[in-house]
């Protein structure tokens, strides 16, 4: 596992999340928090895949980590959705989506062996997009449910 490469990639992901947060109109006070969420998500995914965890499980856990980091660093009753969305977008499958559509455009004009190869590449890209997006949604849901559960228990403990 190349820790330096993982750390550098995490920093780029943080920067990506922060820029995207601004494009999605996140208020300036959330810029650093969005950066940290983006960083943490990518770091978690790269470390887990480095340990041999499958890409989709690693993405699910990373999305959960984004929620937990968001809750930990934002001392408000509710974490703004823009922070969570920007934090998980570096985990997304944008490249696979572009590849899928490019392959889709190609398969209509191919025949024989190239058609078979392009069809396989197309199914692989579509599957990647589907499973990655699903993994992110599941991870976010798991994180949000965990936070709700803990907060409810805290309220009950106070009563």
Partner 1 sequence: MQPLEWALDVALIVMRNGGSTAMADRTFENVLRGFREDRVPVVWRLDFVAATGVAEGESFTVLRPVGPIGVNLVRASEAAVLGERVARGEVDTAALAGEVERINALAAPYNRWVMTAAAACTAAAFSRILGGDWGALGIACVAAGLGQLVRSLLQAMKIAVAPVTLVCGLLSACVAASGLRLGLSQTASAALIASVVYMVPGMPLINGFMDIVIQHRLLVGLERIANAVFLFLVLTIAIAFAQTVVM
3-state DSSP percent of the chain in helix, strand and coil, to 5:
85, 0, 15
Shortest reach from residue 131's CB to partner 1, in Å? 11
User: What is the spatial distance between Cα 111 and Cα 88, in angstroms, rounded to a whole number?
Assistant: 39
CB-nearer residue toward partner 1: 69 or 126: 126
CB-nearer residue toward partner 1: 75 or 157: 75
Which two structure tokens, joined as six digits, stand for 155?
């309220």
Shortest reach from residue 100's CB to partner 1, in Å? 8
CA 1 to chain centre: 20
Point out which residues bind partner 1 (CB under 8 A): 9, 12-13, 15-16, 18-20, 22-28, 42, 80-82, 85, 88-90, 92, 94-95, 97-98, 101-102, 105, 133-134, 136-138, 140-141
CB-nearer residue toward partner 1: 15 or 72: 15
Q: Do 91 and 58 touch, CB atoms closer than 8 A?
A: no
CA neighbours closer than 13 Å in the CB half-sphere of residue 68: 15
CB-nearer residue toward partner 1: 117 or 138: 138
């Amino acid at each position: 596992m190349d820790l330096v490469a993982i750390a550098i990639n995490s920093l780029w992901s943080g920067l990506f999340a922060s820029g995207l947060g601004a494009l999605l109109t996140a208020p300036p006070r959330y810029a650093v928090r969005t950066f940290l969420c983006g960083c943490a998500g990518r770091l978690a995914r790269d470390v887990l895949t480095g340990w041999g965890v499958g890409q989709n499980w690693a993405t699910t856990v990373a999305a959960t980590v984004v929620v937990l980091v968001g809750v930990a660093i934002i001392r408000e009753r509710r974490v703004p959705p823009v922070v969570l969305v920007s934090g998980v977008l570096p985990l997304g499958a944008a490249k696979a989506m572009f590849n899928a559509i490019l392959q889709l455009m190609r398969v209509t004009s191919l025949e024989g062996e190239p058609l078979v190869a392009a069809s396989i590449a197309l199914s692989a890209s579509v599957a990647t997009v589907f499973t990655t997006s699903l993994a992110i949604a599941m991870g976010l849901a798991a994180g949000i449910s965990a936070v709700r559960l803990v907060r409810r228990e805290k309220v009950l403990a106070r009563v």
